Amino acid sequence: MTRRLLLGAFLFHPGGSHVSGWRHRTSEPQRHVDIDYYARFAETAERGVFDTIFLADGLYFWDRFPSGVDHYGQTRLEPLTLLSALAARTSRIGLAATVSTTYNEPYHVARAIASLDHISRGRAAWNLVTSRYEEEARNFGGDEHLDHSLRYERGAEFVRVVQQLWDSWADDAILGDRDSGLFADADKLHVPNHRGEHFTVRGPLNVTRPPQGYPVLFQAGGSEAGQDLAAATADAVFARPLPLADAQAFYAGLKDRLPAYGRQADELSILPSLRPVVAESGHEARELAQEILDSTPDAIIVEDVAHSIGQGLAGDPDAQIVFAPDTDIANESKSPNRRIARLRSGERVTPRELYAESFWESVSVGTAHTIADDIQERFETHAADGFVVQALTQPHGFERFVDLVVPELQRRGLTRTAYEETTLRERLGLARPQRRVPVGAEA
């Protein structure tokens, strides 16, 4: 099969991927709980023949810093509920939701995602996260997180249990035979009866096997533990944006982990985030990006940097940072932290400088042609199998990408012009997995 560029459409903050996207003159912040607002997003992605939409989520309200309440547009609907509604407003696009393995139980997740897969006729996907913020822990009976490595151990077992539950029923187990009075064939039911380090789950699931067998599994994480979990379990990885050479190294390194788990390179797609700012001219695009950056309140700049480096800072975004070298944020995240690396090297920088640098490093700014050039180079040089598009503003920024960049990608033959396959697994080039039931274990 010809390798094809994959596209996902990301939504986290209702106003766009930038924390102040809701302030843009084209935004509609008052509609953050309006189903029609989200339907427009999904329908736009489907018009652009995207493979999936991708709803990120967190089990907390970010009030660690005052700016989280004052300035940060972060209220959002529960994603599986929202995707069930969007399944009725779309027909072909995939429907991916973030679900935590730290603060959920496998039976709940297996049932909910199997239900979404049935409702959408094979379009469901699960973005597995292990949760990392103390705000989440305090909503679920604790004051701090499980240890980082323990969260990933729990996550790996969580996936195994969910898949065992999805395998409870054979595809042809439901008879619905009025004459015999048999609704189901008991010989085609398997009770998982899982007993492990973190979970004891008898089963079986009270939803039949999903149309995809296993709905598509996304996973994000740059740490060693995160990459191992992805190599063992994920169908696609949502990756950070990196400079080209670093992205190629990450891509090759993650693909090289697959054989240890009995997998081939084409069984895992790597999809870095893409934050486009597109306009008719490069100058116009740069001005628009600068306008979005300038809309960020000083309080968010200071507190974003303070959080990322793990220490409190004074309120002045232009004051040089006095770095505390014993800072430790490892239990929250073990992914590479370039801000801390710069400060450890002795550089004298301000929060505004660090924030602006991160902003410009994370965005792709230009015309449809230049952004498509960057996408094509990264795809063809094996830095990415596709991208998860995070427009800085909604709906304007994303619609500009679909209207300007997507036709250019299609003209180059990089991405599809129409939907062909039925399920999301098929669209990602993945086979429907066989039911994994031990011999003699039925019923």
Question: What is the predicted pLDDT for the residue at 4?
Answer: 94
> Residue 331: what pLDDT?
45
Tell me the pLDDT of the chain averaged across its residues: 91
In the prediction, which pLDDT does 418 show?
97
Q: Which residue segments constitute the domains of the chain, with CATH numbers given?
A: 6-281+365-427 (3.20.20.30)
Least confidently predicted of 310-314, 395-399, 421-425: 310-314
What is the phi-psi region of residue 310: left when phi exceeds 0, alpha when psi lies from -120 to 50, beta otherwise? left
435-439 LR contacts (CB < 8 Å, sep 24+):
435/167, 435/170, 435/171, 435/209, 435/213, 436/163, 436/164, 436/167, 437/167, 437/190
For the beta carbon of residue 417, count every other beta carbon within 10 angstroms.
12
Q: Please compute the mean of the pLDDT values over residues 125-154 and round it to a whole number.
A: 82
Q: Name the pLDDT band for 332 (thresholds 50, 70, 90).
A: very low
Q: What does the block give as tokens for 65?
A: 């810093």
pLDDT computed for residue 440 by the predictor: 63
For the stretch 190-205, pLDDT in tens is 999 999 999 999 999 9
Q: What is the pLDDT of residues 83-132, one digit of tens each?
A: 999 999 999 999 999 999 988 999 999 999 999 999 999 999 999 988 77
Is the pLDDT at 406 greater than 90, yes or no?
A: yes
Which of these ranges, 42-51, 218-227, 288-297, has the smallest mean pLDDT?
A: 218-227
Closest CA relative to residue 162, chosen from 218, 118, 204? 204
Residues found in the chain: 443
- The pairing of strands 174-177 and 386-389 is unpaired
Least confident among 308-317, 338-347, 401-410: 338-347
User: Angle at the Cα of 301 (from 295 to 303), degrees rounded to 5?
Assistant: 140
Average pLDDT over residues 153-181: 96
Neighbours of 118 (CB within 10 A): 16
CA neighbor of 386 nearest in space, from 269, 218, 215? 269
Q: Residue 97: which region, alpha, beta or left (left: phi > 0; alpha: psi -120 to 50)? A: beta
**Residue 404 has what DSSP assignment?**
I
Beta strand residue intervals within 339-415, DSSP E = 363-366, 386-389
Per the model's pLDDT, the better-predicted residue between 341 and 21 turns out to be 21
**How much is the average pLDDT of 293-321?**
91
- Mean pLDDT, residues 251-259 taken together: 96
Would you place residue 437 in the very low, low, confident or very high pLDDT band (cuts 50, 70, 90)? confident
* The pLDDT value given to residue 1: 54
Residues near 159 by Cβ (< 8 Å), separated by ≥ 6?
101, 128, 217, 233
User: Average of pLDDT values for 249-273?
Assistant: 96
Let me know the angle formed at the C-alpha of 106 by 100 and 111, rounded to the nearest 5 degrees: 100
Residue 116 is predicted with a pLDDT of 98
Q: Are 391 and 401 in contact (CB under 8 A)?
A: yes
Q: Helices in 188-310 by DSSP H: which ranges? A: 224-233, 244-257, 282-294, 298-309
Is it the case that residue 145 has pLDDT exceeding 70? no
| Contact between 388 and 273 (Cβ < 8 Å) | yes
The pLDDT, as a whole number, for residue 72 is 80
Output the six-digit token pair for 350. 């301000």
Is the pLDDT score of 339 beyond 90?
Answer: no
Q: Which amino acid is located at 199 in the chain?
A: F
Please check whether residue 179 is in contact with residue 217, taking contact to mean a CB–CB distance below 8 angstroms: no
Residue 19 in 3-state DSSP?
coil
**What pLDDT does residue 74 have?**
76
Task: Report DSSP state, residue 364.
Answer: E
* Higher per-residue pLDDT: 385 or 148: 385
Question: Residue 329 pLDDT more than 60?
Answer: no
Q: How far apart are CA 354 and CA 111, in angstroms?
A: 43
Q: Give the separation between CA 273 and CA 292, rounded to whole angstroms.
A: 18
Both tokens of residue 298?
Answer: 């000083």
Kind and range of the H or E run holding 54: strand 52-55
pLDDT band at 335 (very low <50, low <70, confident <90, very high): low
What percent of the chain has pLDDT above 70? 95
Q: What is the dihedral of CA 221, 69, 29, 23, to 10 degrees?
A: -90
The Cβ of residue 195 has, within 10 Å, a number of other Cβ atoms equal to 9
Is residue 7 over pLDDT 80? Answer: yes
Burial class of residue 104, CB neighbours in 10 A (0-12, 13-18, 19+): middle
3-state secondary structure of 79: helix
